[in-house]
Each structure stands twice: as structure tokens, then as C-alpha cells.
Amino acid sequence: MGGFSRPFAMATLPASSDTPARLSRALSRMLSLDDFEAAARRRLPRPIFGYVAGAAEDNQSLHANRHDFGRYAFQPRVLVDVSGRSQHTELFGRRYESPFGIAPMGISALSAYRGDIVQARAAREQGIPAILSGTALIALEDVIREAPGTWFQAYLPGDPARIDALVARAAQAGYETLVLTVDIPVSANRENNVRTGFSTPLKPSLRLAWDGLTHPRWLAGTFLRTLLNHGMPHFENSFATRGAPIVSASVLRDFSARDHLNWEHVARIRRQWQGTLIIKGILHPADARLARQHGADGIIVSNHGGRQLDGAISPLRALPGVVDAAGDMPVMMDSGVRRGGDVLKALALGARFVFVGRPFNYAAAVGGQAGVSHAIGLLRAEVDRNMAILGVNRLSEVGPDLLVPA
């Protein structure tokens, strides 16, 4: 792993221009996950915020992911003693404090300084899982060292030798849960990135420089601090060796050549990987059955947050059919979850667990690890409050009988 040395580790900038008191005041104004998005829009340069917030083409799937939660209404029970309620949940032999975790998000370290570590640490302290993205700018070894128990999400390289090497690297680093994201045979049409000035590779320009200069807290606290302490960011986890820097033209080559991947590659990984294997990106019941047949331990129903196929069904709508096909295999979901009520609606439709992405990225940008912890606390409090009002004490009591069509 000699390729993971850190050049230029000679200078240190303050972690943030925010004093603890100022940060505390800022976080006290964050009353919901959506509040972090508005605050992050002000703090982040337009290209970085646009990359995180945007999706594919016309954003149909992005909007449907939120809209479809409104297709269901709760039908609560009353006069139930809920004084002993608990949202603890068991998943793959582990106990988590809440039925939600942090979804994998690429290049989080451009939103917040050491953003992947910040999110993973907060998740571990709060007793929930975080999934490190395969397109992170921080080496997977560094993240698991800081936050044991983190899951690793891989985008499979294009040839078996590189797949084997990446899987072996994750195992050697100490990861116990591998999440294969399988919904990217080709890169999506993300026009939103172009419109906001974000590109892959990241191309220096007057516009990009101006965006940085007009957001000095991000420029000093995230970008310049990263350059001084760790050098130019690279894609660290695409292969068994260090990937290309974010400004390199070879970045596109590194993320291509996946259109031939198939279920035989999953079978190959299953033979090699001794830990928990999860398939992410399932929307069709037939694929849930295939995942089970090929030895997956669980699946995540996901349309990639609307960032791949615009017009794809929302995970919430796909959930009941996929759950039926999955048998006893745990089914999780992501995309569009913003409230505790959303979490409970997904559980009522058969999900065992949900993952939340963009809001925790925004929380890291606004308040670092404290921001992520605050966001987790907000969502946890909503789940608890809604359980009480619904009249349930355990998540196992949350079923389709609590929902009606809106």
C-alpha cells in the first residue's frame, strides 16, 4: 500500500473558521434534514453543491423519490402504552441504535474536510452504520482505522483480476460488509453537473476559481487544508492501488468499461468474500431473486438517488415487489428519505433498514462531525416521536396495516 503516502503534509490550517459557539448556534437553527441543504447551498461553491444536489437529465426520478412517500398516509392507533418504545434494530447479527444509516456518497471530502471520515466517525459514535463510497477521496484503510464497523461500497472494475484485487484489499483492511453497487453499466447523463460547472475530471477555470474565492470558509477550511495536508485529492478506492487525481484526464477511463459485468462476476466475488455481501441498486423483483440465488446476504433497493436512469421507478414503489421476491433475505432501501416518517413508511412496506445520503453530506459541510451527529439526532428523534404517535413500541410492529393510500 505504498501508493497511499500523503505528500505536502507540512502545514495545517484551522479545521474551520467557525468557533464552537458559532457552530453551536448554527446547528441550533437546523431543525430538520432539509435545513442542512439550504445551509450547505450557501456554504459550498456552486459546482460542488450542484454535484451533490443534482441527478440525471430532467430529475424525474429525483423528484419521484420524495413525492412517492406522499402516496401513503399513516393510520395510527391510540391509547397504547408506548412508554417502553425502542428503535433498536438487529441487522446481520449486529445491533444498531436506529433503523437508518449513512449511504455512500462520492467525493464527500470536497464538501467537508475529510468528509468520509467525519461521517463514519459520527455514525459509529451514534450507533448506526456508514457506507464508504468507492469513489471516495480518502483511502478505505484510513476510514476503517478511524471508524471500525464501516461498510465498504465498491464499483466493480472491468476485469476479474482487478475485481479480485479490490475485494482482497477491502478484506485485508478489515471491512466485514461489502456493498456491490450494480446499477452503473455506463455513466449517467448528468447535465446538472455541466450547468453548475462541475466536471469529471475537475477542470481548473476562472469560474471555478471565482466560486472558491466567494466561499472563503470552504476554500480555507476544506480545499486548501486538504491540499496542504494531503496533496491533490485522488480517487482512492476504485482499484487495489491508488486511482487518478481528480484533475486527471484518466479519471473517465477509470470509471468506464463496466457494461459487460454480469451475475457471474457476483458469483466470483461471493466465492472470495467471506463477510457480509450486499447488492445495491436493485429495483426489479427478478433481480432480487437472482441476488439471493448468487449468495447475497442482503440487497439495497435504490435508484442511485435519481442519479442514473431518469424515469426509473422510485425505491419506495419498488419495495413491496422486491420484498416479496427476496424471501427471507434482508431488504434495505435508500433514495428520498428525509424524515422519520419516511423511515417508518419504508419499514412498513417491508424494508429492514434505510440509508440516507445527501442530507448527511450537507450536514458535514455545515458542521463537520458535530453537524452529522446533530442530523442523526434529528432523524432519530423524529422516528421516536412518530412511533409514539403511531402507537408502536418496537419496529417489528411497524407493518402495512399502519398505512393507507393517501
Active site residues: 304
**Phi, psi for residue 132 in degrees, rounded to 5:** -75, 135
| Residues flagged as binding site for glyoxylate | 51, 155, 190, 304, 307
Residue 136 contacts residue 245 (beta carbons within 8 Å): no
Nearest alpha carbon to residue 383 among 338, 332, 352: 338
Angle at 164 between CA 158 and CA 168, to 5 degrees: 135
Q: Which three cell numbers stand for residue 208?
A: 471555478
| β-bridge pairing 403-405 and 131-132 | unpaired
| Residues flagged as binding site for FMN | 104-106, 133, 153, 181, 280, 302, 334-338, 357-358
| Residues flagged as binding site | 51, 104-106, 133, 153, 155, 181, 190, 280, 302, 304, 307, 334-338, 357-358
Sign of CA dihedral 307, 312, 317, 320: negative
Q: CA-CA distance, 297 to 365, in Å (whole number)? A: 33
Nearest alpha carbon to residue 372 among 382, 380, 364: 364
